[in-house]
Structure 1
């Protein structure tokens, strides 16, 4: 983010005692940015306040607008890490609009992003406030990667996002969201959002090392909505390898455990993005460790860039790739957070399965 500094006022973190919220608070502290820790459990908030060396801890409930107003008092912006976001996004956004401060969340939920787009864009424009839903691993990272591959063109034929995880130890929030979010997942066909067909398409994808060839299934997250909202593409598809889905669907899979001094788990990820315009395929690949942990620097970088005026004039519901210079944003995260590579390819690499026998 260069030598610029964000505003002196603290950044509010809703869900600060949760798994991702703690990463966000730690990232803010690492950057010298003060935080207001917001949650619904007084004991957990007190413990987190001691751990992070702050007395700025505030209780709030989603069904109590007054408590949300009080929690955001004096904040420069708010980062919402409290899922399921289909329950929390709109109440926190409404409080942010009343306070006239920017809002960001880290949802992977398509229904949450669609609800924000459909019901809060006009109000945010009138308030002169930017709302950035889905500014984490799913949603924000994919959006940024896509923008680095567009070469400035808004007229695209296909966008394909393919994720590989070596494992997926879900947090309690991820499990709650999975149980709460039963909406059909959407992809884009002929420029329109529509449900993924049943049975879900399967295929084969070749990732960079250490993954190599992987069986994948079509499964979209919030990136489909964020990308479709600002890029004109005939087709937008998202895929994921099968191994992490077996983990997350097994109720016996334990939550993530720290494996380094930053609290990151040993999970390894790769996100491949292919953008096709005519005969040209542009491939961008990001890799790193722990999809929950990597969400924190992405979200904090975004909110700090917003506060120093990098996206001056950006109001309403926006996405990271839409308002920030994508390559510079990704490079600023540093190689310990994310490694990104860029390649041109003559043709697509997805091998779709024709028959369902293997399933």
Structure 2
């Protein structure tokens, strides 16, 4: 049994439909029994539902009963994720989530010993963001065969295709995830600053530093001195955003942060109802080793659809009898990176032959 928590949210409903396609046994969980029932009625198998609410901790115990895998979509994870992951670790239930909230992913390491004891695998950031780049770095490191001096991950994302949940998750991340990885250790680092410039294919980019969870996941399995993630913007905007982002991140820690969240809620539109193939993305891994530079690029479409496919793929892998990994794991530690990228290369939501 796979339990999907946060099933009625934007991303959760994508994953529910993908679970239905997979044929794996699953159930839906979330705060609202009425919304869960409505979602279940839209799915041919009419899966069972379970009401659980992080604000009522006693209800979370049921999430890890009679299930082997828990997929968590209930964010912001910085505020809501730890009690859910802790219960999975204590119960020996495999856990994955779809977040890219860096501070939360860093804190989840506190459950590593417990998860190893019970045999649970806890895999945060197992989604479009982080899982793809993490596995790309693992494969590239094997190809290079040398210790890496630096890894830079550049995201070029479709504009406007961002759910409310992702926006609020991003605001919490900018407020609390002031982390970087330099000189082989975690350091304090504000988002933004001087843009990074380069090419994705033949197209120039200017990118600003942002707190992405590769800062935690990549050093967990790759010997590397420096790791940073970047968000590509149009060159004319990157300098402005790079200058303002540290100030905005500080502002989000003040009472004015509440006002900022309300502005995002009421003045920014929901994702457009555009065809999935209109939401094109690219992820580029840029590594340096022994004075040489290495680049690998992935391209595709529909980040939310791809997140659903990745989450279900991972959950099914965790159900396999041969799966015996435990502890808090990076996606590239929980999955076989070569196999995962080969699978991804054949998915309908991805442009082929780019890994």
* TM-score of Structure 1 vs Structure 2, range by shorter chain: 0.7 to 0.9
| Residue in structure 2 matched with residue 139 of structure 1 by the alignment | 130
1:286 maps onto 2:286 in alignment: no
Corresponding residue to 2:81 among 75, 89, 95: 89
- Assess if the C-alpha contact under 8 Å between 1:38 and 1:59 holds in 2: yes
| Residue in structure 1 matched with residue 248 of structure 2 by the alignment | none
Q: Deviations over 1:20-64 (max 9, x none)?
A: 111111111111112211110122111111011324111101133
Q: Which has the higher helix share?
A: 2
Alpha-carbon distance in 2 for matches of 1:38, 1:335: 27
Alignment of structure 1 residues 251-262 onto 2, 5 Å: 251=264, 252-260=267-275
| Residue in structure 1 matched with residue 311 of structure 2 by the alignment | 299
| Residue in structure 1 matched with residue 257 of structure 2 by the alignment | none
| Residue in structure 1 matched with residue 92 of structure 2 by the alignment | 100
Corresponding residue to 1:156 among 148, 152, 168: 148
After alignment, is 52-61 or 173-182 more displaced?
173-182
Alpha-carbon distance in 1 for matches of 2:36, 2:16: 12
SS of equivalent residue, structure 1 residue 201: coil
- Assess if the C-alpha contact under 8 Å between 1:311 and 1:324 holds in 2: no
| Residue in structure 2 matched with residue 319 of structure 1 by the alignment | 330
Structure 2's unaligned 5+ residue stretches are: 242-259
1:195 maps onto 2:195 in alignment: no
Corresponding residue to 1:116 among 102, 108, 118: 108
- Assess if the C-alpha contact under 8 Å between 1:216 and 1:242 holds in 2: yes
Aligned length: 325
| Residue in structure 1 matched with residue 320 of structure 2 by the alignment | 308
SS of equivalent residue, structure 1 residue 82: coil
Deviation at 1:309, TM superposition (A): 4.2
Corresponding residue to 1:27 among 18, 24, 27: 18
Corresponding residue to 2:57 among 36, 61, 65: 65
Deviation at 1:265, TM superposition (A): 6.9
Alpha-carbon distance in 1 for matches of 2:36, 2:347: 32
SS of equivalent residue, structure 1 residue 16: coil
Alpha-carbon distance in 1 for matches of 2:337, 2:147: 18
Alpha-carbon distance in 2 for matches of 1:147, 1:104: 19
| Residue in structure 1 matched with residue 354 of structure 2 by the alignment | 341
- Assess if the C-alpha contact under 8 Å between 2:54 and 2:80 holds in 1: yes
Alpha-carbon distance in 2 for matches of 1:299, 1:139: 12
Alpha-carbon distance in 2 for matches of 1:72, 1:197: 36
Alpha-carbon distance in 2 for matches of 1:136, 1:290: 12
Alpha-carbon distance in 1 for matches of 2:104, 2:192: 24
1:175 maps onto 2:190 in alignment: no
SS of equivalent residue, structure 2 residue 208: strand
| Residue in structure 2 matched with residue 78 of structure 1 by the alignment | 70
Alpha-carbon distance in 2 for matches of 1:198, 1:226: 18
| Residue in structure 2 matched with residue 128 of structure 1 by the alignment | 119
Alignment of structure 1 residues 210-249 onto 2, 5 Å: 212-242=203-233
Compute the RMSD of aligned alpha carbons: 2.5
1:275 maps onto 2:275 in alignment: no
SS of equivalent residue, structure 1 residue 150: helix
Alpha-carbon distance in 2 for matches of 1:36, 1:335: 24
Alpha-carbon distance in 2 for matches of 1:280, 1:215: 22
Alpha-carbon distance in 1 for matches of 2:316, 2:183: 36
Alpha-carbon distance in 1 for matches of 2:268, 2:191: 27
Q: Deviations over 1:53-86 (max 9, x none)?
A: 3241111011333322223322120000111011
Alpha-carbon distance in 2 for matches of 1:223, 1:33: 30
Structure 1's unaligned 5+ residue stretches are: 1-9, 343-359
